[in-house]
Amino acid sequence: MTPAPLADLTTLRLGGPPARYVETATEADLVAAVRAADEAGEPLLVLGGGSNLVVPDEGFPGVVVRDTRRELVVEGDASTCGGASIRVAAGTPWEDVVDRAVDEGWVGVEALTGIPGSTGATPVQNVGAYGQEVAGVVSTVRVWDREQARVRTLAAAELGFGYRTSVLKRSLREPDGGPSRWAPTPRFVVLDVGFQMRLGTLSAPIAYPELAGLLDVPVGARAPLVEVRAAVRRLRARKGMLLDPDDHDTWSAGSFFTNPVVPVELADTLPDDAPRYPVRSPVPETTTGPSLGAIDPGLVKTSAAWLIERAGFGRGYGLPGPVGISTKHTLALTNRGDGTTAELLALARRVRDGVRERFGVTLEPEPVLVGVSL
């Protein structure tokens, strides 16, 4: 039987069929499928929620392996250790983890609600939103190391977290920037993720001004976990960043471009009203959360959305058409129902090149590009 197109498994709803498709329900089956593909020299794509992928129209010339496990285990007695130590199977939907954390009073992921995809993808990207990053709560990641053909446990200090990156993600690239032999799946296939969270009913300090404003608290204050989760979901819904099968503004890969982190010297050439944010270490100086890590004085983060809009690509750019910028958020490139990956990439190149010509800043794509490039 011919495998279904990857459009059925991705939030962009784009992409042709793989040569072969496998679903795994146990860790042993996942490792066996990955190992078999590598031993056969077969291209491999390990798929989670499909929310961060751009797949070519012609499909994928290898095996797609989808981890279907859903498991969250609490390790130890939180009441005696002063915190929650949990281990989550990679295939578990991320939203399940956030909801369980808020319900149980585990602090540190409440602002990461509404992010589609699987738990295994979160440390790869160092997923973050509204002032939180998973780097602040990840303790360990168990992986299948494809190079060494063995299971390994990587501690947080070994994961090399940075803004939307990690050692796991960087294994997709060679030192010269070209794709590694492991791509489009990292050398390290995530099996499960360990999280360490403190207990409480109040959130980590609110570091994102827009969220603080909606909660009516000052930046740096705390708010009830349930209120933070609800406020973030309202913000994401306004921006078309909550999946809705009836809303084509949500047929996207989320933010298509990362917010640029640039040297101070380049930031100084931007217009005075360009947003400028401190670049902080993802490792907290205290237990207050990743957003309050040490500031790097040589770097500045600016807003990709601001650059895109000022370069002439506003909300709804390209519409009516098969693809276009979301009518709610300029960072989302959307499929309007009959688009193609080729058309989406052409739009992305147009936006990237326009920003570079206007401001000298080269935007980098956030999704994993499978067999395609900008």
Active-site amino acid positions: 164, 255, 366
Q: Does residue 302 contact residue 277 with C-beta atoms inside 8 Å?
A: yes
Give the CA distances from residue 347 to residues 51, 321, 322, 332, 335, in Å, rounded to whole numbers and listed in that order.
19, 11, 11, 11, 11
In the chain, beta strands by DSSP E: 18-24, 44-47, 53-54, 60-67, 72-74, 83-89, 106-107, 128-129, 132-133, 138-145, 150-155, 188-199, 261-263, 277-284, 293-301, 323-325, 333-335, 368-369
As a whole number of angstroms, the distance between CA 98 and CA 121 comes to: 14
Q: What is the rounded radius of gyration, in angstroms, for the C-alpha atoms of the chain?
A: 20
Give every CB contact of residue 305 below 8 A, 6+ residues apart in sequence: 329, 330, 331
